[in-house]
């Protein structure tokens, strides 16, 4: 079993322990809710079961038998196709920020790019960053790294979030030395 698959299996086992319910019981809760949108289901699981964002997200993917990219892959979509969908309409002007980030990150070495519906996940043994537009005027870089000091720019996220820190970018000029150093630190810690 590959490392990402093992990580998901471990996370699902931990969710069962936390909730005291089997995956079948948890999937039944999702189906019984009548909700169909991923975000709505995730919010319901967070509220009703007290799950963190990441655990609720993983449980939704399990219950819906999705990975955030399966439908696109089944349709033959490439990473570029997914990015074209993410950076479209009013968000199209944000694509240069994404491109500048990826050009810098590619220099670190090998990693996996896992496109999702509204962002891309960057992983080695585990996810080290997420990149995507959060509004029509801003791209966010989520970072998973230890021993970093939060500040005005490197914003700490609540415990249980998908990333420990977030950096907000509104212009390609925001992709600077400090940001690249933070991303590289997260990259190195994810080995």
Give the single-character DSSP code of 94.
G
pLDDT at 165 (0 to 100): 97
Give per-residue pLDDT as tens, 85-135: 889 999 999 999 999 999 999 999 998 888 887 888 999 988 999 999 999
pLDDT at 7 (0 to 100): 64
User: Rounded to 5 degrees, what are φ and ψ at 107?
Assistant: -70, -15
Q: How many helices (H) and strands (E) does the chain have?
A: 8, 6
* Alpha carbon separation from 132 to 17, 36, 169 (Å, rounded): 32, 23, 10
pLDDT at 133 (0 to 100): 95
The full length of the chain comes to 191
| Residues forming a β-bridge with 165 | 143, 156
| Residues forming a β-bridge with 135 | 138
CA distance linking residue 128 with residue 110, whole number of Å: 12
Across the beta sheet with 127-135, the strand order is 112-115, 120-123, 127-135, 138-143, 165-169, 155-156
Could you read off the pLDDT tens digit of each residue along the chain, which spans 191 residues? 344 566 677 788 889 999 999 988 998 898 899 888 878 888 899 999 998 887 887 888 788 776 554 444 444 556 677 788 889 999 999 999 999 999 999 999 998 888 887 888 999 988 999 999 999 999 999 999 998 999 999 999 998 888 999 999 999 999 999 999 999 999 999 98
CA distance linking residue 108 with residue 113, whole number of Å: 13
User: Rounded to 5 degrees, what are φ and ψ at 126?
Assistant: -145, 170
Q: What pTM was computed for the model?
A: 0.64
């Amino acid at each position: 079993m590959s490392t990402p698959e093992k990580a998901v299996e471990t996370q699902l086992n931990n969710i069962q322990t936390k909730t005291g319910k089997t995956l079948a019981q948890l999937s039944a809760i999702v189906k019984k809710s009548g909700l169909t949108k991923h975000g709505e289901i995730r919010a319901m699981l967070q509220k009703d079961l007290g799950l963190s964002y990441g655990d609720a997200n993983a449980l939704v993917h399990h219950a819906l038998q999705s990975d955030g990219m399966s439908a696109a892959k089944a349709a033959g979509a490439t990473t570029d196709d997914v990015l074209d969908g993410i950076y479209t309409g009013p968000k199209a002007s944000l694509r240069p920020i994404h491109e500048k980030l990826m050009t810098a990150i590619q220099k670190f070495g090998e990693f996996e790019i896992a496109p999702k519906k509204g962002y891309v996940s960057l992983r080695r043994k585990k996810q080290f960053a997420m990149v995507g537009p959060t509004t029509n005027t801003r791209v966010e870089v989520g970072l998973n790294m230890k021993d970093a000091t939060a500040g005005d720019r490197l914003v700490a996220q609540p415990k249980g979030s998908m990333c420990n820190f977030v950096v907000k970018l509104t212009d390609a000029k925001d992709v600077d030395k400090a940001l690249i150093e933070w991303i590289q630190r997260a990259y190195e810690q994810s080995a």
